[in-house]
């Protein structure tokens, strides 16, 4: 008999590779901090004088530029343009649709005049109007612009302080509060309400980012508060959205909720006992 060759032993199983160490963040990378919880939003509303800041600023800006950096005629037209836009902002509420309409009318008149000037040799309406304005020789007076800015600065500062004291709004998870120092405070329980931002004046939006906050009831049919002239309304509305989307739970809220549940439980047990007594033919005393 021939000898059978011994079967070789199977190789031992390969050891599992050691787990790779976790990747370390780079030294310069900063950990992203979670946003702080927002418990209230405080903002102020202002009278229409808040939109007069371009007149104060342009006098201070053109004072060193006139004569040296810019010609007096250019400074004069810039000064008149700023004053015109500011006066329109203070006196007229220019809605978006109206602004688009007047822009279309202006462009139509402008291009129509250009076409008439090119089509008819004797028609030079726009050219004559431009030459008439150029011949006015409008020049900017630095002392006049600076004096106007300095005269408007004190009332503007008083207006800012007055608005801080009289038109302070505070919105929390539970209520809308209006503080008026020395007069009265108004509070409106929030519940489940809607807050909408509107822009009744395009010029106010351009000068101060201002708009109007409108507070509606939960159904959205009843207007509860209208808060006009809120500067930087985009930033205020963003904070209000963060506040209304978050949830604030306090111990007092838990206690009130427990009391309400106990009252409902007691009422349910009493109602069940009355039904059982009525079924047995006994009326409760």
Quick one: 51 and 158 in the same domain? yes
Six token digits for residue 158: 């008083």
Quick one: 52 and 151 in the same domain? yes
Burial class (CB in 10 A: 0-12, 13-18, 19+), 9: exposed
Quick one: 192 and 130 in the same domain? no
Quick one: 89 and 191 in the same domain? no
Q: How confident is the model at residue 5 (pLDDT cuts 50, 70, 90)?
A: low
User: What rounded mean pLDDT belongs to the chain?
Assistant: 75
Q: Would you say residue 245 has pLDDT above 80? A: no
Q: How many domains does the chain have?
A: 2
| Dihedral sign for Cα atoms in the order 200, 206, 208, 209 | positive
Quick one: 82 and 157 in the same domain? yes
Task: Give percent of the chain above pLDDT 70.
Answer: 65
- Print the domain residue range for 59: 47-94+125-165
In a domain, 23, yes or no: no
Which of 5-19, 45-59, 67-81: highest mean pLDDT? 45-59
In a domain, 278, yes or no: no
Quick one: 187 and 153 in the same domain? no
User: Taking the CB of residue 150, how many other CB atoms lie within 10 A of it?
Assistant: 12
Can you point out the beta strands (E) in 100-256? Answer: 168-172, 175-180, 184-189, 194-198, 211-216, 223-230
In a domain, 173, yes or no: yes
In a domain, 222, yes or no: yes
Which of 9-13, 129-133, 244-248, 272-276: highest mean pLDDT? 129-133
Query: What are the distances in angstroms from CA 171 to CA 65, 176, 243?
Result: 44, 5, 9
Query: Would the pTM count as exceeding 0.85?
Result: no
Q: Would you say residue 274 has pLDDT above 70? A: no
Higher pLDDT, 120 or 50: 50
Q: How confident is the model at residue 46 (pLDDT cuts 50, 70, 90)?
A: very high
Quick one: 157 and 183 in the same domain? no
Residue indicated by tokens 């209304």: 244
Q: Would you say residue 239 has pLDDT above 80? A: yes
Distance of CA 129 to the CA centre of its chain: 42
Give 154-197 pLDDT, tens digit per residue.
999 999 999 988 888 888 877 778 888 766 567 777 665 778 88
Give 34-44 pLDDT, tens digit per residue.
667 777 888 88
**Helix, coil or strand: residue 121:** coil
Least confident of 166-175, 185-194, 232-241, 248-257: 248-257
Quick one: 160 and 177 in the same domain? no
Where a domain ends, among 165, 197, 228? 165
Dihedral in degrees, nearest 10, Cα atoms 109, 111, 116, 122? 80
Quick one: 87 and 55 in the same domain? yes
Higher pLDDT, 147 or 186: 147
Higher pLDDT, 85 or 176: 85
Quick one: 233 and 202 in the same domain? yes
Give 17-27 pLDDT, tens digit per residue.
656 566 565 66
Quick one: 143 and 198 in the same domain? no
In a domain, 194, yes or no: yes
The set of residues, in sequence order, having a beta carbon less than 8 Å from that of 206 and lying 6+ positions away, is none
């Amino acid at each position: 008999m021939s000898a059978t060759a011994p079967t070789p032993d199977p190789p031992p199983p390969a050891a599992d590779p050691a787990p790779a160490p976790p990747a370390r963040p780079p030294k310069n990378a900063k950990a992203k901090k979670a946003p702080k919880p927002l418990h209230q939003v405080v903002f102020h509303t202002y009278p229409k004088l808040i939109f007069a800041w371009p007149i104060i600023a342009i006098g201070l800006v053109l004072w060193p530029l006139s004569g040296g950096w810019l010609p007096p005629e250019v400074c004069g037209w810039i000064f008149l343009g700023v004053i015109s836009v500011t006066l329109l902002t203070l006196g007229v509420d220019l809605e978006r649709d109206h602004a688009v309409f007047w822009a279309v009318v202006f462009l139509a008149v402008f291009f129509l005049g250009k076409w008439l000037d090119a089509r008819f040799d004797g028609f030079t309406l726009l050219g004559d109007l431009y030459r008439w304005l150029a011949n006015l020789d409008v020049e900017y007076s630095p002392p006049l612009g600076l004096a106007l800015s300095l005269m408007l600065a004190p009332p503007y500062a008083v207006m800012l302080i007055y608005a801080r004291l009289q038109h302070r709004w505070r919105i929390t998870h539970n209520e809308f509060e209006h503080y008026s120092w020395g007069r009265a405070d108004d509070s409106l329980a929030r519940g489940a309400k809607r807050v909408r931002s509107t822009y009744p004046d395009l010029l106010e939006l351009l000068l101060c980012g201002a708009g109007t906050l409108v507070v509606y009831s939960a159904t959205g049919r009843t207007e509860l508060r209208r808060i006009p002239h809120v500067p930087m309304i985009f930033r205020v509305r963003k904070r209000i959205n963060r506040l209304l989307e978050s949830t604030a739970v306090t111990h007092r809220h838990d206690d009130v909720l427990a009391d309400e549940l106990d009252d409902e439980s007691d009422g349910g047990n009493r109602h069940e006992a009355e039904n059982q007594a009525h079924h047995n033919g006994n009326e409760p005393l």
